[in-house]
Amino acid sequence: DAGITQSPRHKVTETGTPVTLRCHQTENHRYMYWYRQDPGHGLRLIHYSYGVKDTDKGEVSDGYSVSRSKTEDFLLTLESATSSQTSVYFCAISTGQGRQPQHFGDGTRLSIL
Amino acid sequence: GNSVTQMEGPVTLSEEAFLTINCTYTATGYPSLFWYVQYPGEGLQLLLKATKADDKGSNKGFEATYRKETTSFHLEKGSVQVSDSAVYFCALSDPQGGSEKLVFGKGTKLTVNP
């Protein structure tokens, strides 16, 4: 267990509402990531962080923002949710050599109606 | 651009059968290659990796060899178990964008029957 907790695990909300997903790690790993998983697309990187207040965009960052004010927490925000953002969201961390993610959380299933 | 193509599933095998899941890639430069596994209801876990040509990654009885000449990284296991039932993802790291930016295949679902 790499000590990754995602919250909430499930959420249903309406188009146009703001949504924030939280990823919490119990160890002081530097690299954290947010991915979305959709049928037929595999996983796609939304944003990642390489330290407190240090973040960068992935391949599908439009409509999403992130913040990392503490090492252990990485927040993903949908400022105004759209139906195309219905997906399963995974947080991941890099725990060892190399900056690629080694461990993923159990996911947040988000439905935008 | 960089891309990963996996064999489409689902794949259904009997216990103790030999497993091959094909993965080919397109990339500029020299990417690192990875296999991830996702068990039902869970997030992905890194299964194995290889960072240069001819490297063999191995873990839990699974193996994959980085073949630059055929741009492939096929996953193999000699004798699968019911507990290997999962979705397997091949991925590469963008050699120009940094190893944070993995490109994933679409996944191959494996079901192993007793």
Residue B5: predicted pLDDT: 95
What's the mean per-residue pLDDT of chain B?
Answer: 91
pLDDT digits (tens, 9 = 90+) for A64-80: 999 999 999 999 999 99
**E strands in A16-96:** 19-25, 32-38, 42-51, 54-57, 64-70, 73-78, 87-93
B104 and A100: CB-CB below 8 Å?
no
The answer, for B3 touching chain A at a CB cutoff of 8 Å, is: no
pLDDT digits (tens, 9 = 90+) for B24-65: 999 888 889 999 999 998 888 899 999 999 999 999 999 999
B44 and A56: CB-CB below 8 Å?
no
DSSP helix/strand/coil, A85: helix
